[in-house]
Structure 1
Amino acid sequence: MDKELSSTTPAATHRSSDDVNFADTVFGFWEEFQDSSENSSNSGNDEEIHEDDEEEDEDDNNICTLEKDNCFWEEQDQLLKTTLCRSSSRESKIRQATMEAMRELNMSKMLCLCQRPVVTEFMSCRNCLRREICDRLSNLGFNSQICKSKWRSSSEIPSGEHTYLEVTENSSNTKRGVIKVIIELNFRGEFEMARGNKEYNQLVKRLPEIFVGKAERLRVLVKIMCSAAKKCMKEKKLHLGPWRKQKYMQAKWDGKCDRSILEPILPKVYSTSRAIRPKASMLT
């Protein structure tokens, strides 16, 4: 009996050790599997959190950009309104005389006959219109002249030229010298853009069709509108043409009213009646 017990005991002991080793192997594998699952789950959560953070940062950046853009356009609008509201008594007198001349010419039925091949309406010919307003202002005692500006091309802007009206007066302050009042008959049209955005077009609508003001005030308006044009093109991811830059636009009204560059005085050959057509020759 003791022999049997002694013979069976090692076998039982051997089986129990095998069972323990197998159990340890199974449980060890299961623990490694759980650890790997938890690690993969945690890494997945970390990636999702990181992506959420990036999206939130992007949204915050977009909101900040939008707020900056809104602040810019509001500031430009306020600056434009403030500049346009300012006016001296001298500017007001010249502006009133210019508008009165425009109303009278608009009501008339004059025809333009300034050596052009086609007879057009007087108001559509800026050369005749500019000359007539200049003459009327001169008759009212203003020192009005027609100026032509010319500038050469550079690495920044192309060459060009522009014609406008100018009224000069001597200032009572000797340090200021001559006061220049610019008259531009197509002021709003100079800043119109086919691809302007809503905010820029609203600024353009605030501009007067005919500008009458000091040269210093004109420079401020040019700076405001050119800055707005640059911002508009940047928001639309378009290239800003060199003819839209501040240096180019300002050059239009920086001419000198030298007598040698003034437009030739046109004879007053316009008429309030219709142009007489030449009669056909009986010999042809």
Structure 2
Amino acid sequence: MASLEEEKLVQMVHEFIESEQEPEPEPSSLPISSINHSSTFILQGILGSYTKEEMEVMEKAKEFVREMKDEKMIQRSDIMKRRLMMSLRKHGFDASLCMSSSLAYYEYIDIVNNLTCRLIIDIEFKSQFELARPTMSYAQLSSSLPNIFVGSEEKLKMVVAILSSAIQQCLRESGLHVPPWRKSSYMKSKWFSCCNKVNRSIVIPYHNSYRLKDKKKEIMQVGGLSSQFSQLTVNC
């Protein structure tokens, strides 16, 4: 039964993502309240599912933020993210600070432990989806978001797709124009565009479709950079 519900959830999410890439649909015959309830159900299902590693990283991130608050050491977000990255590395995670700048400059943390799994950690996640005058339905949906996000790229893509769609619906219901920085492509660029990865004191260009295995081959072929690569710790 659980697997059947999971399959339904995945199917609903993929329908959301596919609809984003199509022209704006005709008005639905379903009540808006029914659509919003469905979105909230899907979002809660995605965010309520954690792997063992995701839970472990989440606990470390929450502990770090809690300690900063207890010690009254809340600093600029960029400094906080760098310190969290170093804290995760001390706990044995191959963490890097990622700086994207395709459409929007943004910083987040990732952990790559093998060639097929990349975890995204964002301690400012919920604030990226805040609206000044949200509708009641959007406020209910966005209240499901965690302040700190920890999850796979696939999970993040699903969440961003749902929220981007909901933001546009919220603005249109309020009779407002959808600005460029609220569109799906802009929101996605924060986490899924080309970025530089800061690992200790080393900056590494990174692209989502560019695997570390290929990067290692390229660096090893360049004699002047081989010693620099030896300073990296890549857990595969």
- Same-fold call, TM > 0.5? yes
Verify the 8 A CA contact 1:144 1:167 in the aligned structure 2: yes
Asked whether 1:130 is paired with 2:93, we answer: no
Q: Secondary structure at the match of 2:96?
A: strand
The corresponding residue for 2:133 is: 195
What is the 5 A alignment of 1:231-242?
A: 231-242=169-180
Match of 1:169 among 92, 99, 113: 113
CA distance in 1, matches of 2:144, 2:198: 36
Aligned-residue sequence identity (percent) comes to: 28
- Secondary structure of 1:207's counterpart equals coil
User: Deviation per CA, 1:187-243, whole angstroms, max 9, x where unpaired?
Assistant: 111000112111001111110111111111011000010111111122222111111
The corresponding residue for 2:67 is: 104
1:1-284 map, 5 Å: 67-109=30-72, 122-151=73-102, 159-170=103-114, 177-256=115-194, 258-259=196-197
Once the two structures are superposed, what CA deviation does each residue of 1:3-50 show, in whole Å capped at 9, x if it has no partner? Answer: xxxxxxxxxxxxxxxxxxxxxxxxxxxxxxxxxxxxxxxxxxxxxxxx
Aligned-partner Cα distance in 1 for 2:100–2:171 = 27
**Structure 1 stretches of at least 4 aligned residues deviating more than 6 Å after TM superposition:** 260-265
**Structure 1 SS opposite 2:93:** coil
Q: Could you list the runs of 5+ residues in structure 2 that have no partner in the other structure?
A: 1-26, 204-236
- Kindly provide the amino acid, as one letter, of the partner of residue 131 in structure 1: R
Alignment check: 8 A CA contact 1:148 1:261 kept = no
Tell me the distance in 1 between the aligned counterparts of 2:68 and 2:34: 42
- Summarize the Cα distance change of 1:200–1:144 in structure 2 as closer, same or farther, 3 Å threshold: same
- SS of residue matched to 2:178: coil
Whole-Å separation in 1 of the counterparts to 2:79 and 2:146:
21
**One-letter identity of the residue aligned with 1:85:** G
The code of the aligned residue for 1:94 comes to V
Structure 1: 5+ residue stretches without partners: 1-63, 110-121, 152-158, 171-176, 266-284
TM-score (norm 1): 0.58
Q: In structure 2, the residue corresponding to 1:164 is in which secondary structure?
A: strand
The alignment of Structure 1 onto Structure 2 pairs a total of residues equal to: 177
User: Displacement of 1:150 after TM fit?
Assistant: 1.4
Q: Deviations over 1:137-185 (max 9, x none)?
A: 000000000000111xxxxxxx321111111110xxxxxx331111111
Give the alignment's Cα RMSD to 1 decimal: 2.4
- Equivalent position amino acid for 1:168 in 2: V
Secondary structure in structure 2 of the residue aligned to 1:183: strand
CA distance in 1, matches of 2:141, 2:124: 16
